[in-house]
Structure 1
């Protein structure tokens, strides 16, 4: 019976891989609808499963397909291709393979981002994908900064003019600027101290102007970015002070208690919740912690840096986030969760037994985990350490603040 079950699992795996190969082949089909379906199929698979070995063998083929769809496709196809590029990097993790993916696609991403005549939905998707691809795969912090400048060229167009007036921006363009701001904020988390100092001087006095945007998503993105900048500034200098602190707190307080009748109730409710947290961050350096539970584990989101990073990954893997937190070695390494827990069928069975018996099963499961932990492949540990060290090295404090 066991052998039969094992054979059945092998057959299911072969069938799944056959479907994936079909999707890859279909990304070059003449029909745009077929290509779109293939891209979506690959996206779903990468968001919900770990496919490292399968993808590694076909990395160049998938990258070529993404490149072709970005160059020759239209809006929705380009959007799907941009998202697939990000999921490809998430699957490959931080290393030479994902660096090669980014090296191929980055020029195309930047061209689409800068092209005012390009499809707006494609530009929105690229603004989000380029940020996370850069976080995962960029090898040079100077190139990270250059990519951030591309994002700055977009979201700063939503800044109020010096006379207090605003450029008229339609909702689609505002969403593009919002996506660019969120990707820019994501890359703040891996900037060096010197870069952060320049950014604080250049942007912290201007970002509060975005709090007056008509777009609730832009207001929220601006508020969370301001909170993130204050957190990073205080990490460098516990006595950090902001010249327009009182004025900023007044603005944040107004948004945290907004009763504007011209705004939708759902927008006001969402905004008030976010800005109560942002106000605490600016006034007290406080963060409202959140616990994420996945499988037998839990993770605490206890900082704005961690929140921005978590939200960025969740944007792409969606409902598969808990699975990736359990099984994706790269994502686990980013959040310092250690190697994946080895959960076997006996553990799954223990999770389904009676409440009376459960504590005994969990005791032995935990004991087994610690034994297996020490037997974990040392080569895999070295790879994770190398990947994570790249993120740490980029945050080395240089000079006095």
Structure 2
């Protein structure tokens, strides 16, 4: 994809000027020299596009400190789009502290939507830099800001929700001390445990937006579970596994699903854990997997039943419904709750660019044990795309033929019915 199409503000870069065209018309070069000239022109065009793309990024970086909140918001969104869809390590590495300072300023002085965009950009910056000293420096600057907003009950609720999610992923990528990981998990616990139904059966009074904050905190907590030591996971299980099922009774479908997936993740991480309330838990999970409550929306029930069928299998049989992700000429199998939680966390920020990052981002490939990025033969890739196009055209023609045949058959049935 041409980088210019990210913004849609300029037309296509023309590979030849009018003067070039007239010269080319008058020239009588050999076929070899023509191919060489075309290759040089293509290289120059690509270089021009790259320079233009980097110029736009520099403008965006400068605009993150603009006086206008709208301009800052646009700049943050532009940088997010670029980082989600391209590998920019060299460009970003040279400017990482400038970008970090801008993110910090937007988090501290911005409002709501701007803070959310800044929090997301922090994650994308860490994903671009990968696990190492560079992302550690970024995170050391931003972690205190994330925690301050997260724990501030008077802060904008959307900003707190965004910080709960971003703090989890940034910790996974850039935290260099496991004890600090545990401290961050305790920060998340101090939030989502407020949604636990009390032992006497009474429900806490929590509004929908705060419930979403607690849900985000629970998902980030579960993400960090995937990098904890076995001994620490056992301590966590003893503390929370008897209480997490209380979240399954929450009125919010997202919270119920997050709790169910977290329970499945814990059972996967400590399969030999001695859990006393196993049968009541399975009954509760089965009820959610077959929920027919008329007071719930159909879409919520459909989504919930699908997830809890898988959660029930995980708890009862230690089973996981695997899923295959295809990208370019490769494929990756998500075959565990650990891998699913990790994949979902990255995809939340990278979005539609996830397949591209799986193909080209060395850090993400390392996380999912895919090895170094593969060098794809452009001719082979073109042939593969051609075969896909051929299959598509064949299927379209076959569908058209079937439709015509069925229409004729229907016409005959109508004629017979008239007699």
Q: How many pairs are equivalent?
A: 354
Q: Distance in 1 between matches of 2:326 and 2:228?
A: 29
Which of residues 253, 268, 274 is equivalent to 1:216? Answer: 253
Q: Distance in 2 between matches of 1:357 and 1:18?
A: 39
State the Cα deviation string for residues 307-333 of structure 1 (Å, max 9, x = none): 000000000000000000000000000
Q: Distance in 2 between matches of 1:123 and 1:147?
A: 15
Which of residues 77, 84, 91 is equivalent to 1:40? Answer: 77
Match of 1:302 in 2: 335
Which of residues 314, 329, 332 is equivalent to 2:347? Answer: 314
Q: Distance in 1 between matches of 2:389 and 2:120?
A: 46
TM-score, normalization by structure 2? 0.83
Where 2:332 maps in the other structure, the secondary structure is strand
Match of 1:157 in 2: 194
Which of residues 123, 129, 151 is equivalent to 1:114? Answer: 151
Match of 2:284 in 1: 251
Map 1:1-400; keep pairs closer than 5 Å: 1-234=38-271, 239-354=272-387
Where 1:298 maps in the other structure, the secondary structure is strand
Report the RMSD for the aligned CA atoms in angstroms. Answer: 1.4
Match of 1:391 in 2: none
Higher relative contact order (CA 8 A, sep 6+): 1
State the Cα deviation string for residues 161-183 of structure 1 (Å, max 9, x = none): 11011111111000000000000
Aligned-residue offset at 1:357 = 11
**Runs of 4+ with >4 A deviation:** 354-358
Q: Distance in 1 between matches of 2:125 and 2:387?
A: 41
State the Cα deviation string for residues 193-227 of structure 1 (Å, max 9, x = none): 12111100100000000000000000000000000
Aligned-residue offset at 1:356 = 12
Question: Residues 356 and 203 of structure 1: is their aligned pair in 2 closer, same or farther, counting only changes over 3 Å?
Answer: closer
Aligned-residue offset at 1:355 = 7.6
Aligned-residue offset at 1:154 = 0.3
Where 1:166 maps in the other structure, the secondary structure is coil
Q: Based on CA coordinates, which of the two structures has the bigger radius of gyration? A: 2
TM-score, normalization by structure 1? 0.87
Aligned-residue offset at 1:241 = 2.8
Where structure 2 has 5 or more consecutive residues not aligned to the other structure, the ranges are: 1-37, 392-419
Question: Residues 248 and 355 of structure 1: is their aligned pair in 2 closer, same or farther, counting only changes over 3 Å?
Answer: closer
Where structure 1 has 5 or more consecutive residues not aligned to the other structure, the ranges are: 359-401
Aligned-residue offset at 1:346 = 2.3
